[in-house]
Structure 1
Amino acid sequence: MSLPIIQIKHVTATYPEKTALKNVSLTVYDDDYLGIIGPNGGGKTTLLKIILGLLKPAEGSIQFFKNGRPANHIRMGYLPQYTDIDRHFPISVHDVVLSGLKKKRFSRYNKSQNEQVRQTIEQMELADLQHEAIGTLSGGQLQRVLLARAIVQKPDVLILDEPNTYIDKRFQEQMYEMLNDLNKQCAIVMVSHDITEILNNVKHIACVNESLHYHDSTDLPKEKLEEHFLHI
């Protein structure tokens, strides 16, 4: 049975120049694969920031759960739309993935953490590249490394903001296969402008354009969905 892991109630989020979200409610479940769509400036990224704790809502609340019980926090992995990683910085694939793990200040990563990195690199099919500098990678390879960094801590929820950035059609298919496998281990929340890929891969859809409309099924025409979310 699916249990709630994130519950957003009547959230309104504002910036000095505009209201980004108005009276938005949403429940994400522990086995969810939720696609979030909507026009540019409609509030999709603002919703992610609220889930991640990077932005406090002006009104409303957000509650986390573990095993169906209220929790102060949950583990989240995050793949942003644009990364500020410096591709000229002399850091290897292995060390980028390692940076996704938390450790105490001035302490070293332990044997167990290094094993987590090894397993994640294998899972993301990056073993042949683990000692390469990130500046030598293609866009698709870099995106895979950043995805590995997002999941190395074994998150309860994986949050992706436009994961198709930098990657070609061939790797898109591979990435979605990886995400389907990851969904067996954690919930996934993904923002994407690609409605076709959303319909082909996710379980549920949230259409965001200041307000939010939730679809429990992806069994609906793309044209109807486009028409709907553009006029929420």
Structure 2
Amino acid sequence: MATVNMVLQGKGGVGKSLVASLLAQYFIEYDYPLACIDTDPVNTTFAGYEALKADVIEIMEGDNINQRCFDKLMDRIELLPEDDFAQMVVDNGAATFVPLGSYMAENDITDYIRDETPHRLRLHCVVTGGQAMHDTLDGLKKLLEAFPDNPIVLWLNPYFGNIVSDGIPFSDFKIYKNNIHRFESVIQLPIKNPSTFGQDLINVLNQRITFREVAESNMPTMQRHRIKKYWAEIKAEMNKAGLLEF
């Protein structure tokens, strides 16, 4: 069976497209069959990575899900090969979060994928530190409520600040402790010096180029070295998460 990896979070600008690109690059690294879909109606950041060849499917019409367009997405899922290694990565925008979650819940989409297709659905959610922390926690809460039977991979992104509240770390947050059984795995994105690694990463993200493209580029040696090291650390975290295991 193929795995549909859907990245969902109601807060914009917190790293959803980054997570989608990391997942896609990770599966490419292991030569897994891959399909990439960008449904963000506002910022098609994921589709901006030419090397990932993501297709854009606009599933919104105004503030609502366009059923006909959403059906196109479901058709793409149906057509995935019945291959344990096959992967689809779907990046969803903040604007689609609430209507998409509601639409999927009302139409029993997770049950449909589980029972009517040979594939599985894996949800991914980003939580950040800093000013957006409470908004991303609220997005996670809504995701847990909307999809009570679905595994969730939790991505902790400390780029905007440590994920801490009044000195309490995320591992002691009520939402985590009460739902720990719901999380298939937790992936911690590395914390790096913003003046070196951070700036290199921003440049790479702004250019929408993959880590493999960086390695094959004529960037200065130390920049390529830092990016290579960063990618190795992320891959190690993703390996620990068991994303390739069934």
Give the TM-score normalised by structure 1: 0.33
More helix by share: 2
Could you tell me the TM-score, scaled by structure 2's length? 0.32
Relative contact order (alpha carbons < 8 A, sep ≥ 6): 1 or 2 greater? 1
Answer 1 or 2: which has greater strand percent: 1
